[in-house]
Chain A
Amino acid sequence: MPLDKRVKNEQSKWMQGKGPMSDVVISSRARLARNLAQFSFPSREDGKQLHQVRDKIRETLKGLQYKLDFLQMEELPELEKRALVERHLISIDHATQGPKKGLAIDKDQMISIMVNEEDHLRIQVLFPGMQLLDALRLVDEVDDRLEEKLEYAFQEKWGFLTCCPTNLGTGLRVSVMVHLPGLNMTGRLQQTLQLVTRLGLAVRGLYGEGSESAGNLFQLSNQTSLGLREEEIIDNISGVIDQVVEREREARQYLVKEREMDIKDRVWRAYGTLSYAQKISSEEAVSLLSDLKLGIDLGIIKEMDPAILSQLMVFIRPATLQRINNRELNELERDIKRAELIKKKMVGGG
């Protein structure tokens, strides 16, 4: 039975692999938490009230220029919700918990607005590469348009009031996804990440717990949201990201100069496995794709789109993979289809 798809496109703009510093920075995200003054926060409100919140926000969004599609989460099939999580368009909680949730997204999937998540509104903007300032500008503009019609929960001292006090103030959480294979291979990863934490940013591996992460993918974000202006928050994190990018590039140059054969061997082995594997787990795939991307960025592998990592790290995950194949797949079938898809992408197809 073919899958029921409400959001047709599997491709989000952030997966294009372009933008400043795209050799290290995969994507930039800015997210604002907002609440409507006249309602309690979603966890303290009943279904009827939450319905009203959703309707109100949906009506307001209709009047804006962004051409957003509005989806009611309870109407989406399970796989579709999980695929949205895999594309980083909604949170895991938004896919699994609570009634009367909504999602507004634009065609390019750059803007995604979660309704009735932990707060009434989570307005999110996702860009490829290092584009935090642009992300902030857009999310700020969407926020302004909404505020013309909606009464926000705001007070002078603590700013925008949020369900969890960790988001208080600006309600702003910015995060940047970085790819750090060079630092990992030169043994400088832990040290760098510790430094980043000391400079006030939160670090987490994209896959798995703590500072270990398959695919050398890490997400860096601001820890605090109160007491600084939005631009200052962006300045702080950008300053740290510049440093991280610099160190990662240095590490890569060191590898090319001092350990050329090691690095070439590793890249081509990844290329070989990905080209010929008949079945592959997502964990193995992500870690080999990380080697492949490094090879492309260093010019070892030529004529391959560097976006391959940004795209495939999403496409190979279970829900998206099933959607691409337009049917449900068991684990073994997924491993086989995953290997097929990677091969197809590597020769520039699909």
Chain B
Amino acid sequence: MLCQECGKNKATVHLTRIKNNEKTEIYLCEECAQKKGELNLAQDTLSLHNFLTGFLGGGQPQQTSQTGDLVGVSDCPRCGLSYNEFREKGRLGCVQCYENFEEQLTPLIKRIHGREEHRGKVPARTGGLIRKKREIEKLREEMEKAVREENFEEAARIRDDIRKMEKELEG
């Protein structure tokens, strides 16, 4: 048998890997096997995904139909991804998947991030209205801080700004 890596030399090294209950066997020649072991950069993505699929597969066995799909969870209408495929790979297929699997994703996302709602950047063009709302929220926080620090003039100024922005939002 020839080395699966270079396809030139005779394979003398036999590696067996078990990942997600799937066994893969690799046959390599001495040189390629060494090369594979040569100061490999650690892969964070790999461990992260293992971790995630562990998350998804763990816990209570879910009720499945004969085909193995989760009962009551239909495939994503846009990209066709099934919930089972997501559970296996830990990857979603498209924007629509987030809506389609929202019920299943919500607790998972909370477990991963410890939080449920985005508070960061809002893109200028795609998120015009949301951006305004966020700015107001941020100003509110600043106003409360100013009040706490008994900096009332500043607080009043921020309050006026907020009112102005809220009017803009309504109009």
State the A residues within 8 Å of B (CB). Answer: 35, 37, 39-41, 43-44, 85-86, 91-93, 118, 140, 143-144, 147-148, 151-161, 163-166, 168-170, 172, 202, 204-209, 213-214, 219, 221, 224-230, 233, 281-283, 286, 317-318, 330-331
Contacts and interface: CB of A to CB of B under 8 A. Distances in A.
Contact of A227 (B34, B98, B118, B125): B118
Nearest to A169: B118
A144 B43 CA distance: 29
A159 B122 CA distance: 7
A93 B48 CA distance: 14
A43 B91 contact: yes
B79 to A, nearest CB: 4
Among A44, A156, A229, A233, residue most surrounded by chain B Cβ atoms (within 10 Å): A44
Given A44-B81, A148-B125, A164-B92, A227 B39 contact: no
A215 to B, nearest CB: 9
6 contacts: A37-B95, A39-B94, A164-B49, A168-B112, A226-B115, A331-B35
A40 B93 contact: yes
Nearest to B78: A40
B15 interface: no
Interface residues of B, number: 46
A303 B147 CA distance: 55
A281 B37 CA distance: 12
A158 B93 CA distance: 16
Given A168-B109, A169-B113, 20 more contacts: A44-B93, A143-B121, A154-B122, A154-B123, A157-B117, A158-B117, A161-B92, A163-B93, A164-B90, A168-B112, A168-B113, A204-B44, A207-B40, A224-B113, A226-B113, A226-B116, A228-B120, A281-B38, A281-B39, A282-B38
A172 B42 CA distance: 20
B119 interface: yes
A283 B39 contact: yes
Contacts of B35: 318, 331
A161 B48 CA distance: 18
A327 B167 CA distance: 68
B92 A41 contact: yes
B166 to A, nearest CB: 18
B120 A159 contact: yes
B44 A221 contact: yes
A318 B38 contact: yes
Question: Per DSSP, are chain B's interface residues mostly helix, strand or loop, or mixed?
Answer: loop
Contact of A170 (B44, B109, B118, B126): B118
A247 B110 CA distance: 33
Interface string B134-145: 000000000000
B105 interface: yes
B43 to A, nearest CB: 6
Contacts of A170: 118, 120-121
Given A35-B95, A44-B94, A165 B109 contact: yes
B98 A161 contact: yes
B109 A158 contact: yes
B26 interface: no
A92 B43 CA distance: 8
A27 to B, nearest CB: 14
Contacts of B80: 44
Given A169-B113, A230-B121, A207 B39 contact: yes
A168 to B, nearest CB: 6
A278 B38 CA distance: 19
B118 A158 contact: yes
B169 interface: no
A159 B41 contact: no
A118 B91 contact: yes
A209 B42 contact: yes
Contacts of B121: 140, 143, 159-160, 170, 229-230
B123 A93 contact: no
A118 B93 CA distance: 10
B162 interface: no
A128 B81 CA distance: 41
A166 B79 contact: no
A169 B112 CA distance: 12
B38 A163 contact: no
Contacts of B122: 154
